[in-house]
Amino acid sequence: MKRILVPTDFSPQAENAIKVAAQLAVKHGSEIYLLHSLEMPLSIGGSGDNSNLPESLYFIKLAEKHFSEILEKPYLQDVNVHEAIGHNEIYNDISAAVEKSNIDLVVMGSHGASGFKEMFIGSNTEKVVRTSKIPVLVIKNDHPVFEINDFVFATDFAEECRWSFNEAQKFAKNIGAKMHLLFVNTPGDFRTTAEANGLMDNFVKGMGAENYTLNIYNDSSIEKGILQFAKDRNAQLIGMSTYGRKGISHFFNGSVSEDLVNHANMPVITFKIQ
């Protein structure tokens, strides 16, 4: 976790993400890469003539002003920070930045389902989660002290989730958290206790897992089960795999990871299945 990318629209929600990234950077000796996507209207940017150049420069100068204000924040004084301005849609800019700077983790703020006319409304957050090749940590609230002791990792324990589980293990170890592996039993896909235990035991076998628990939770839907289990455990973080496919079949035959990003108040981290 040496290079952390934080997309920002200079909103309070984005600043919440920067604060968390700063705490991780100080703890792990990481560098932070701040990214602002202008996403300028076509009438300003891409027509090919230079008539709108002054207006384009105005938005760039405004972004640079915001960057300079952020860099003065006390929580960034001991952190090596790089800043960049992108000109495409946010998820495309993030993908390019991850590739260019060899980023290890994306930390982004989210307004959630109630967001309106802002960059990080649900649909953009979902696209980032779905398209990112590296872990994405989504922050909803202000965390003056970002400390994770209990980390719920929900999975269907399929073979293809092993890689993402291994990445989640590394992350849990880095932050010093206990991992609670979770299988949510629903009426539509019910497993007996013996079946679920067998599935989980077989999944963790040979994975070198440490400091974890195995858990079965029954609920009417996977999303509700994850949220309620995390609440019961007083967990500070929810993690899961995401398939990164287009359409609606991402996770547990549904868009659970994207829904949770929108509706969970606690931080959510996603790991793409390879």
Domains and CATH numbers, the chain: 3-139 (3.40.50.620), 150-272 (3.40.50.620)
Where does the pLDDT of residue 57 fall: very low under 50, low under 70, confident under 90, or very high at 90 and above?
confident
Taking CA atoms, 110 is separated from 92, 226, 231, 232, 267, in Å, by: 17, 19, 20, 24, 10
Better-scored residue on pLDDT, 158 or 117 = 158
- Decide if pLDDT at 217 tops 50: yes
Q: What percent of the chain has pLDDT over 70?
A: 81
Q: What percent of the chain has pLDDT over 90?
A: 56
- Decide if pLDDT at 39 tops 70: no
- Decide if pLDDT at 249 tops 50: no
- Decide if pLDDT at 127 tops 60: yes
Better-scored residue on pLDDT, 264 or 90 = 90
Residue range 128-170, pLDDT digits in tens: 877 788 999 999 889 999 999 999 999 889 888 898 899 999 9
Residues of the chain by 3-state class (helix, strand, coil), percent to 5: 40, 25, 35
Q: How far apart are CA 108 and CA 7, in angstroms?
A: 6
Q: What's the predicted TM-score (pTM) here? A: 0.86
- Decide if pLDDT at 193 tops 80: yes
